[in-house]
Structures are given as C-alpha cells and as structure tokens.
Amino acid sequence: MIRTKNIITSIEDIPVEWIFETYVPGCPKLSGQEVTMASPFSPTQRTGSFTLFFEKKQRYFFKCFSSSKGGDGFDFVQEYFKLKNKQEAIAKVIKDYKDFLKSGVVIADRDYQVYQKYKVDSFELRVWNKADQKFWWDRYGIGSKVLDALNISPLSHFEMTKEELGQTHRINIKRFLIYGYFNKRGELCRIYQPGVKDAKCIKVKSFIQGEDQLKGLKNLLVIKSMKDIAGFNQLGIAYWECLAPDSENDLLPVTYLNEKKKHYKKIRTMMDPDEAGQKATLEYVKKHDISGISFKLGPKDLTDAMELNRNNLKKVRTVLIESLEA
C-alpha cells in the first residue's frame, strides 16, 4: 500500500517514524530497531543518552536520560522547539507533514523487522577477593558486610543472549570487577561493571534498592541514587534509612510514597548534583511534595566525596549529617 493523499483526517495519519526522522538530527530510517544517540537536548554531550524505542501498540517513543524528557513524537517536537503545549506541536507537525506530501513524495508502508535485545541469561557468583577490597574498601571505605546486607554480590561472569532470524546469539562477559544487585528473593536485578563506559549498569529487572533492608523503625527516609546507597549505609546515620529507585529518571510511584509517608516522620531526596539529579529533585517537589537536600561537600556526590576523603570519612559523615538536618 502507498500513502499518497495530502489530506489529513487525523494525527494518526502521520507516521510517528516520519516525525522522529524529520526532527531528530541524525536519526536513521526507523524499521523497528532501538536507536541510541547523542541527545538533541544536550548537543555538547558525546555519550548516547537519547533513545528511540519501539513498543506500545508498535509505535516509537523517545527517552532522554540527560534531560529526563520522554514521550511520543509530538512530545519531542514540543520539547525540542520549546513550544507552549502539545497542541502547538501537533499543529506544527500537521503543517510540516502536509508540506512534505505536497512535494510529491510518496510513502510506502514499512517492512518492520523483529529486533531482539540482548538479555542476561545466566551468571555465576564468586567470593570476595583482594581486587574487590581494592575497589570498594581501599577506594571508598565501603566494606563487604554492608554490600552483603544490600544483597550486592561479586560475579565471575555473566552471559547474554538474543534470538534473531532464527538464530541464538550469545555473549559471555568475564571481567575482574562485576557485581550483581539482588532482591530478597535472590533474583538478579542489576549488573554493575565499574570502569566499563558503555555498559556500566545493565538493568535485568526493576527493583528499589534498599527496600528489602528498610526496618521502618527510624524516623527519617532519604531517597538517593543507586550509586550512593552503599556509601550512605556504610556511614551509618542514626534515625535515617535510605533507598534508591532504578535511576534518578524513574520517580517512585505516588502510591508507594504515600504508604511510606505513613511510617516516616520525614522523607527527603538527596540526588546527584548533576543536571539529571537536579531535575529529579524538582520533580519530587512538584509531584510528591518531597523536598530535596543538598550535600554540602563541594560539587561531588556522596560516593565521590568518600573517595576524595578516604582518609577522613568522619568528615564526610559529619557533613552528611549536617546536610540531612539542615
């Protein structure tokens, strides 16, 4: 079937792929694959923090991890061109698409391919060793007792597989420093590979780190990034408990936090001091009425501060307490 009409009766007549291919700089032809690239919202960043993915009702959506923006094609146009609302974005896309059709171009239906992602298929645990000690204890002052309590365990290797065109593709990853984050049921939820730039964290399944360790006996609860929760627990702040969602871009649900508010006198966030962390802090204020706390030890986050002050963790702990009680 060939689409030749230049009369649009519904926004559903506009291919979502056309929207992204037209407005996202450097966007390739979309045929069902997931695409990761530098963010159009942060052109100075070189890392791939902007993703186009194909899922709900076989439609494309976007997620930008550097700016916390996400949504469908019209949401992208609204954000990218800084329009007042989604209706302005729809009006712009309709006009541009009509002009595109008037140029005489015909659009054929796409031949979508089935693209599978690599998924963690298996793993093997190992015991703590001197390399782990050098990374966690010598560098940050975080001991294996705290890591064990958080269900963080060292892995010797893990395997990832995907099915494509009737064939099974396997990748076996073996490195010195690989760690698995598990829930209380022993299910692997996250793989952490420090020093691996492009795949430092691999999400296996959703979970809230620290949730399994909450005792509900303390008065105060702080929401941190997953990177910092081990450091927070190592410092052992009286009356405060800590948890972390999958990422700073994934806000904890309203129903979940409303339940936590019944058991804690105060809930605060203490996100990383980067752009994504600050935006997450504002979202918690706006959507959950939960205010943020600034860690008052320079521009670094808690774990970085522990590394820089490895020989004076007492100072880090004192500043953390002051920040929490401010």
pLDDT of res. 109:
62
Do 314 and 263 lie in one domain? The reply is yes
Last residue of a domain, one of 57, 88, 108: 108
pLDDT of res. 94:
93
- 3-state DSSP of 119-170: EEEEEEECCCCHHHHHHHHHHHCCCHHHHHHCCEEEEEEEEEEEEECCEEEE
Least-confidence region, from 20-34, 42-56, 130-144, 223-237: 42-56
Band the pLDDT of 318: cuts 50, 70, 90. Answer: very high
pLDDT of res. 1:
32
Least-confidence region, from 40-44, 189-193, 258-262, 311-315: 40-44
The pTM is what?
Answer: 0.68
Residue 4 in this model has a pLDDT that exceeds 60: no
Band the pLDDT of 25: cuts 50, 70, 90. Answer: very high
pLDDT of res. 216:
74
| Pairwise pLDDT comparison (59 vs 155), residue with the higher score | 155
Do 167 and 103 lie in one domain? The reply is no
Name residue 138's amino acid: D
Band the pLDDT of 2: cuts 50, 70, 90. Answer: very low
Do 219 and 322 lie in one domain? The reply is yes
Residue 72 in this model has a pLDDT that exceeds 80: yes
Band the pLDDT of 64: cuts 50, 70, 90. Answer: confident
pLDDT of res. 56:
56
Band the pLDDT of 9: cuts 50, 70, 90. Answer: low
- What domain range includes position 184? 117-206
Do 234 and 184 lie in one domain? The reply is no
Do 133 and 232 lie in one domain? The reply is no
Distance CA 132, CA 33 (A): 37
Mean pLDDT of all residues belonging to the chain: 85
Do 240 and 228 lie in one domain? The reply is yes
Report yes or no: 49 and 275 within 8 Å, Cβ to Cβ.
no
pLDDT of res. 5:
47
- Tens of pLDDT, residue by residue over 132-176, are 999 999 999 999 999 999 999 999 999 988 776 667 788 888 988
pLDDT above 90 coverage of the chain, percent:
39
Do 186 and 221 lie in one domain? The reply is no
**How many domains are there within the chain?**
3
Residue 21 in this model has a pLDDT that exceeds 90: yes
Distance CA 219, CA 198 (A): 39
Residue 3 in this model has a pLDDT that exceeds 60: no
Residue 108 in this model has a pLDDT that exceeds 70: no
Do 103 and 121 lie in one domain? The reply is no
Residue 101 in this model has a pLDDT that exceeds 90: no
Do 253 and 324 lie in one domain? The reply is yes
Do 67 and 9 lie in one domain? The reply is yes
Do 14 and 82 lie in one domain? The reply is yes
pLDDT of res. 162:
79
pLDDT of res. 201:
85
| Pairwise pLDDT comparison (111 vs 146), residue with the higher score | 146
Report yes or no: 325 and 245 within 8 Å, Cβ to Cβ.
no
Distance CA 155, CA 145 (A): 16
pLDDT of res. 106:
61
pLDDT of res. 323:
87
Residue range 9-24: mean pLDDT, rounded = 88
| CATH number of the domain that residue 287 is part of | 3.40.1360.10
Residue 232 in this model has a pLDDT that exceeds 60: yes
Do 222 and 183 lie in one domain? The reply is no
